[in-house]
Amino acid sequence: MTQGERRTTARRTVLGAAGATVLGASTALAAGTGAAQAADGRTAAADRAHGGGRGYRALPVPTVIAHRGASGYRPEHTLGSYRHALDLGAHVIEQDLVPTKDGHLVCRHENDITGTTDVADHPEFASRKTTKSVDGTSYTGWFTEDFTLAELKTLRAKERIPGTRQKNTLYDGRWTIPTFEEVLRWAEDEGRRRGREIWLHVETKHPTYFRSLGLGLEERLAKLLRRYGRHRANSPVFLQSFEPSSVQRLSKLVDSPGVVLLSGAASRPWDFVQAGDPRTVADLVTPEGLRWIASYAQGIGPTLDLVIPKDASGRLGDPTTLVRDAHAEGLILHPYTHRNENAFLPVDFRRGTDPTAYGDSFGALKRYLGTGIDGLFSDNPDTALLGAADLTARD
Ligand code: G3P
Ligand code: CA
C-alpha cells in the first residue's frame, strides 16, 4: 500500500469519527447541558477519534486547530482562550512560543507584547520600551526577552484587535501570560477531566533571532516535551515553524511530528535569509521542495492563499495542486487562518460593508475544506467544526 493509499484509508476512517465528535458536541450544546459536560460525556469512540495514543493519523479529518485558542472569542494565548476552544470542541489547541530573559518559554504570538498585554500601563516598565529589529523588521515596544518570567507574570493579557472584536475586551485583564509548562500541566489536567488526549500545535517564533541572543528555543522546548511525555512520534503534539531549520533541529531532539509553515510564495524563511539560502516559498511548494520537507517533517502549514489563490479583486480563484502534491509526498496540510469576520474573508464571501461583521464563513469553509486539506487553523473553531461536519455529510 502506498503512502497515498494509507492516507486515503485513514482519511475515510476518521471522517466518520469527526462527524460523530462534531455532532455530539453541538447536540449537547444545543440541549443546554454545558460545553464542559458535553466534553466529559464523550464516548470512547469519540475519544479514540482524538488520537487515543495512535498519533496524528488517527485525528479527525479535517482537523480543527484552535488558532491561539478560541481567539475569535477570548484574548489570544490565554488559558481562558485555550479552555474555551476545548469547550467548543476544537481537536487541537495552538501555542506560539517566545522566551523570557531568564529562558522560560511563554505563549505569545510575538515577542513584542505591546498589543496583547497591559505592559504600557505599568510605569515600572516604562524604561524597557525600546526599538529593535526582529527578522529584518523594526518594532518599537516592550519585548519578552527583556523581562524575567516573574516580571512578565505581573502583566495581564488583553484583546489584540479590540476594534474588530469589541466583545472580547470584556475579558481584558482576566488572565496572565501562560508559560508553556503551565499549558502542558493544564493539558494533562484537562485530559484527565475530559477523558481524552489534549492535542497541542506548538510554534517556535523567531528561532534564529532568539538563538542569536543565546535563547535557543528548540532545546528548551524539547526538554519540556520530554518532561511531559510529548516527545514521541505518537504524542499528541505538532511542532511547527516558519523556519525550516527549526523543524529540522526539533526533529533531531524529539520524534513528535513536525510541520513547516509556509507564508506567501514570494517570501523567504528568515533562516534562509540568514544562511544565504536563495530558496523562496515558491521553491518549497514544488514537488522537489515538498520532497525535501518530507525528509524531516510530517506536514506543511501553508497560508490559505497557497491552497486557493485570490484574484486581483480578492475573490477566490481555482485551487492550486498543492494538496495533491503534498499528499503525494506523504505530507499532511494544516493551512492558516480561517476567521468569521468580513475583514478576513475572501471578497466573494463578505456580507454587507461592516468589516467587523460576520460574512459567509461557511461558504468559504466549503471551498477551502473541499480541497482535501487535512486540517485548518481557525479563530472560530466552532464554526470550522460545523463546516467540517457539512463536508462529512456530503461524503
Ligand atoms: O502557525 C499557524 C499560524 O498560526 C501561522 O500564523 O502568524 O498566526 O502564527 P501566525
Ligand atoms: Ca502560529
DSSP string over 128-189 = G-EEEEETTEEEEE-BGGGS-HHHHTTS-B--S-TTT-GGGGGGTTS--PPBHHHHHHHHHH
Mean pLDDT of all residues in 169-186: 98
- Asked if the model's pLDDT at residue 232 lies above 80, the reply is yes
CATH number of the domain encompassing residue 205: 3.20.20.190
Is residue 16 over pLDDT 50? no
Name the pLDDT band for 9 (thresholds 50, 70, 90). Answer: very low
Confidence of residue 394 (pLDDT cuts 50, 70, 90): low
Residue nearest (by alpha carbon) to ligand 1 atom 3: 336
Q: Is residue 158 part of a domain?
A: no
Q: Could you list the residue range(s) of the whole structural domain that residue 283 is in? A: 3-74+87-97+177-394
**Residue 263 domain-assigned (yes or no):** yes
* Cell digits of residue 287: 514537488
Cell reading at 290:
515538498
Please list, in sequence order, all residues whose beta carbon lies within 8 angstroms of the beta carbon of residue 46, skipping any fewer than 6 positions away: 17, 20, 21, 24, 196
Q: How far apart are CA 112 and CA 146, in angstroms?
A: 10
Instruction: Output b/e per residue, 239-270; b: 16+ Cβ within 10 A.
Output: bbbbbbbbbbbbbebbebbbbbbbbebeebbb
Q: Give the mean pLDDT of 379-385.
A: 98
Q: Which of the ligands is closest to the CA of residue 337?
A: 1
Residue nearest to atom 2 of ligand 1 (CA): 336
Q: Is the predicted pLDDT of residue 20 greater than 90, yes or no?
A: no
pLDDT over 80 (residue 19): no
Share of the chain above pLDDT 90, in %: 85
Whether 322 maps to a domain, the answer reads yes
The pLDDT, as a whole number, for residue 288 is 98
- Residue 114 clears pLDDT 50, i.e. is over it: yes
**β-strand partners of 375:** 63
- Residue 301's pLDDT band (boundaries 50, 70, 90)? very high
CA of 127 to the centre of ligand 1 (A): 30
pLDDT in tens, 37-84: 333 333 344 444 456 789 999 999 999 999 999 999 999 999 999 999
Please report which confidence band the pLDDT of residue 392 belongs to, taking 50, 70 and 90 as the band edges.
Answer: confident
Segment 380-390 mean pLDDT: 97
Look at ligand 1, atom 5, and give the residue with the nearest C-alpha.
336
What average pLDDT is seen over the chain? 89
- Distance of alpha carbon 248 from the chain centroid: 19
Q: Is residue 232 part of a domain?
A: yes
Distance from residue 335's CA to the centre of ligand 1 (Å): 9
Q: Are 99 and 210 in contact (CB under 8 A)?
A: yes
Q: Does 96 sit in the ligand 1 pocket, CB within 6 Å?
A: yes
SS3 27: helix
pLDDT recorded at residue 219? 98
**Is residue 97 within 6 Å of ligand 1 at its C-beta?**
no
Cα four-point dihedral sign 69, 71, 73, 79: positive
Which residue(s) pair with 252 in the sheet? none
Name the one residue in this structure whose C-alpha cell is 533541529. 249
What CA dihedral angle connects 4, 7, 8 and 10, to 10 degrees?
160
What is the arithmetic mean of pLDDT over 365-393? 96
pTM greater than 0.85: yes
203 lines ligand 1 (CB under 6 A): yes
List the residue whose alpha carbon is closest to atom 1 of ligand 1: 203
Identify which of 112, 134, 202, 337 to mutate to test ligand 1's pocket (most ligand atoms within 8 A of the CB): 337
What's the burial of 200, exposed, middle or buried (CB within 10 Å: 0-12/13-18/19+)?
buried
Work out the average pLDDT over 112-135: 98
76 pocket-lining for ligand 1 (C-beta < 6 Å)? no
Counted domains in the chain: 1
Check pocket membership of 240 for ligand 1, CB cut-off 6 A.
yes
With respect to residue 332, please indicate whether it lies within any of the assigned structural domains.
yes
Task: Return the DSSP state at 310.
Answer: B
Q: Which helix (H) or strand (E) holds 96?
A: strand 92-99
Q: What is the pLDDT of residue 50?
A: 58
CB distance 67 to ligand 1 below 6 Å: yes
Q: Does 389 reside within a domain?
A: yes
pLDDT at position 34, please? 34
102 occurs within a structural domain: no
pLDDT of residue 44: 41
Query: What average pLDDT does range 269-288 have in this prediction?
Result: 98
pLDDT tens, 190-229?
A: 999 999 999 999 999 999 999 999 999 999 999 999 999 9
- Residue 104 domain flag: no
Q: Is 343 exposed, middle or buried (0-12, 13-18, 19+ CB in 10 A)?
A: middle
Compute, in angstroms, the gap from residue 106 CA to the centroid of ligand 2.
13
